[in-house]
Amino acid sequence: MTKITTILFDLDGTLINTNDLIIQSFLHTLGKFYPDQYKEEDVLPFMGPTLMETFESIDKEKSEDMIREYRTFNIAHHDELVKEFDGVYETIAALKENGFKLGIVTTKMLNVVKMGLEVTRLTPFFEVIVALDHVTKAKPDPEPIRKALEQLQSTPEEAIMVGDNYHDILGGKNAGTKTAGVAWSAKGRAYLEEYHPDYILDHMSDLLEIVGARQR
C-alpha cells in the first residue's frame, strides 16, 4: 500500500466546531423568510451542501436573498459561536511536525475559512486551502480535492480525505483518495457509516496511528 503523505480536511464539523453557528444561522435566516416553519432538526440536513444548493431547494427565487442574510448573521456571530473540538489542535500540530502535507477542502468561502482557522489557532499548519470560491463544482465532485492535491504536488494514492459529511466521503472516493469519517459529526456515526469510509475516527488523534505518525 502506498504510504500516506497528504491529509485533506473538511473544515466545519471536522476541524472546528461550527455546528451551533451553522444551525443558528439557518434558523435565523429561515425564521426571517418563513416564520415558525423550521426547527433545529429540520436544518440538520442542510449542513454540508453549499448554501446555494440548500436555499435553491427551498425557494430558487429567494435563494440569493437568503444566502446574503445567512452570511451576514454567520459572520456577525462567528467568533462567539465557533468552538474547538477536543484534540484537533494537538493532532494537527503532530501531523505537521511529522512532515505530512496538510490541506483544507471546504464548501465555505475563503474569507470565512480564514476566520475559523484564526479563532482556533490552526492557521499556521495548512499549506493549501481550496474553498468554494476556488472551484466551479463543490464536493462530492472531485474537482476541489484534485485541485488541493495538485497544489500540494501529491497523488490520490498517497492522500486521505477526512470529513464529517457524505460530501467529504464521496468526494474522496470520486477523487481516488482514502477516506475517513469523524464520529463527532452532527449527523452521527451511523449516518457516516452508510457511505463506507475507509476509517471512522472516534477522536482526531486516531488519525496518527492510521497514517503512521509519531505522537507528540
Residue position matching grid coordinates 472546528: 16
Say if residues 81 and 89 touch (Cβ distance below 8 Å): no
Query: 87 phi and psi, to 5 degrees?
Result: 85, -5
3-state secondary structure of 180: strand
Rounded distance between C-alpha atoms, residue 135 and residue 73, angstroms:
24
**H/E element, 91:** helix 88-97
**Of 100, 123, 174, residue with least CA distance to 144:** 174
* Residue 38 cell numbers, joined: 423550521
Number of C-beta neighbours around residue 191 at 10 A: 15
Rounded distance between C-alpha atoms, residue 209 and residue 170, angstroms:
23
The residues carrying an active-site annotation are: 10
Rounded distance between C-alpha atoms, residue 142 and residue 145, angstroms:
5
* Residue 167 cell numbers, joined: 460530501
**Of 149, 165, 142, 159, residue with least CA distance to 7:** 159
